[in-house]
Structures are given as C-alpha cells and as structure tokens.
C-alpha cells in the first residue's frame, strides 16, 4: 500500500507531501469569505496581506470553520483509502466531500462523502474507502459547514500506478508485521521506525527487486504503544504508516 501524506492546505496550487502546515497572509492561508469580512472588514484578500493574525492556529472570526492538519492517500491493488485529521473548532461541520480531478485541477468531481462528527471537537480523524485504483489524477477533500461554506485541503496526486504499492499487515502488531512493497524497478530504500517520543528504534536499508517485495519487521522486543514507520525512497519521496504495538 503506497501512501502520500500532505500537511498543508491552500488554494494556490499543489503542495508536496510532507509540507508542514502553514498560516500566512500572502494568500496561502485557507480562510472562508466570511472570515475575511469579519477579520479584515473586507473580502479583498490583497488588503489582508498587510494585516496579521496573531495565533498560529487562528481561523479568523468564523468559529465554525475547519482546518486540515494532515491528509493521506493510501493505494492498494483495488482501492484507495483517504485518511485525514481535521481541527474542528465548533460543532458546525456538516460533511466532507472527496473530490477528484483528471485534468490537472481544472475541473473537480465528487467521488464520495461522509458526515462530519459534530460531537468531537479539536482534532478528529476521518477515513474513506474508494473502491477504485486510479493513477494520474488529483484528489482533495472539502470540509463543508452547516452554512454551506467550504474549506479545501491540499491537493494530492494519486499514489497509484500499475507497479507501485505499499502496505503493512498485521496492524496492530503483536510481535512482527510484514511490509509489502511494489517497486517499478530494482532499488534501495531506507526503513525507519520511530516511537512516540521521537526516538529511532529501528533503521535499516533494504534492497528491492522489480515487482513485489516483502520485508519483515520484528517488533516483539518493543514497548506497547504507537510508532511511525517511514519508507524513504531514492529521490527523496517518503511514505509513512502509524503502527500500533500491542
């Protein structure tokens, strides 16, 4: 199962996976039209460039708005799974729509939707399974509140292709798990496992053959808890998984 993860949001184009969430006054800040009106007394975003929102997590004057802290797309042989974490300020969220574009973002089509969790404030995790495996398309997620206002996540390219995939099973892990990797060509990767304190507990380099590969991950001697498994490819690409050790 191959994963792409985004950590930013905006409307000024595509953001690379792993980009840290930023809030700024140069048009990249994701705010609703109503927020500009209440915060800057105008809907002209060029005027907002000269002003400053003090809090790094501020959403402007609209307390019903939602922010995306991360978006992840996982590719399997016959499906795509979307995982995202949103920061919900108040119980005014209505739903999330998953959108797809096959023409570099010129047009967007809704491929699925789920209802927002109105009882969970702060960080809330969501997941959506799309029973198709498609490559060479773009995805984004739209958060819609009860007033019909929208906030978009970052745009993420589909991680799927005919020869690449990445999955880990089982998860949660009792003693060991298996990393399954599809590679378009022979290559080397670096696998890093980090615990919840940010300490690297495993770090190894693995040679892959073209096609399907299996890599065993021994975790029997590790303490129970959550871990982040990173697969680092040549060229700088990185995929991550959250593993639970029981």
Q: Phi then psi for 142, rounded to 5 degrees?
A: -110, 125
Confidence at residue 196, expressed as pLDDT on a 0 to 100 scale: 92
Strand partners, 130: 80
Residue 36 pLDDT exceeds 80? no
pLDDT: which is higher, 133 or 82: 82
Confidence at residue 161, expressed as pLDDT on a 0 to 100 scale: 62
What global pTM score does this model have?
A: 0.46
Confidence at residue 133, expressed as pLDDT on a 0 to 100 scale: 65
Dihedral sign for Cα atoms in the order 122, 123, 129, 134: positive
Residue 88 pLDDT exceeds 90? no
DSSP-derived 3-state class of residue 185: coil
d(CA 43, CA 37): 5
- Of 181, 148, 156, nearest in space to 82 by CA: 156
Q: What pLDDT band is residue 25 in, cutting at 50, 70 and 90?
A: very low
Residue 54 pLDDT exceeds 80? no
pLDDT: which is higher, 80 or 224: 224
pLDDT: which is higher, 216 or 38: 216
Q: Which residues, 6+ apart, have CB-to-CB distance to 149 below 8 Å?
A: 32, 33, 34, 62, 64, 65
pLDDT tens string 200-230: 999 999 999 877 788 999 999 999 999 999 9
Mean pLDDT of 129-156: 86
Distance from the Cα of residue 132 to its chain's centroid: 18
User: What domains can be seen in the chain, in order of their start residue?
Assistant: 2-157 (2.60.40.10), 165-245 (2.60.40.2550)
H runs (alpha helix) in 22-158: 33-40, 45-48
Contact 59, 31 (CB under 8 A): yes
Angstrom distances, CA of residue 214 to CA of 42, 89, 148, 158, 178? 56, 42, 46, 23, 6
| pLDDT cut 90: percent of the chain above it | 31
- Of 36, 52, 34, nearest in space to 44 by CA: 36
pLDDT tens string 96-122: 999 999 888 999 999 999 999 888 778
d(CA 2, CA 74): 5
Angle made by CA atoms 67, 71, 74, in degrees to the nearest 5? 160
Radius of gyration of the chain (CA): 20
d(CA 153, CA 161): 23
Q: Which residues, 6+ apart, have CB-to-CB distance to 222 below 8 Å?
A: 195, 201, 245
d(CA 138, CA 136): 7
- Of 71, 70, 68, nearest in space to 29 by CA: 68
pLDDT tens string 166-177: 788 898 999 999
């Amino acid at each position: 199962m191959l994963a792409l993860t985004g950590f930013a949001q905006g409307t000024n184009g595509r953001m690379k996976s792993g980009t840290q969430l930023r809030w700024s006054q140069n048009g990249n800040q994701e705010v609703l039209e109503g927020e500009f009106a209440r915060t800057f007394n105008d809907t002209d975003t060029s005027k907002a460039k000269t002003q400053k929102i003090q809090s790094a997590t501020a959403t402007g004057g609209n307390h019903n708005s939602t922010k995306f802290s991360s978006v992840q797309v996982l590719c399997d042989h016959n499906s795509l799974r979307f995982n995202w974490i949103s920061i919900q300020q108040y119980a005014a969220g209505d739903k999330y729509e998953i959108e797809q574009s096959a023409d570099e973002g010129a047009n967007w089509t809704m491929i699925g939707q789920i209802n927002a969790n109105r009882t969970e404030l702060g960080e809330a995790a969501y997941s959506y399974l799309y029973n198709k495996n498609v490559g060479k398309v773009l995805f984004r997620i739209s958060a819609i509140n009860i007033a019909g206002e929208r906030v978009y996540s970052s745009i993420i390219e589909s991680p799927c292709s005919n020869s690449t995939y990445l999955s880990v099973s089982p998860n949660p892990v009792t003693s060991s798990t298996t990393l399954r990797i599809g590679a378009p060509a022979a290559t080397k990767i670096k696998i890093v496992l980090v615990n919840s304190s940010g300490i690297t507990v495993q770090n190894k380099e693995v040679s892959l053959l073209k096609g399907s590969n299996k890599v065993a991950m021994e975790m029997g001697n590790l303490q129970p808890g959550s871990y982040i498994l990173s697969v680092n490819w040549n060229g700088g690409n990185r995929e991550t998984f959250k593993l639970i050790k029981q």
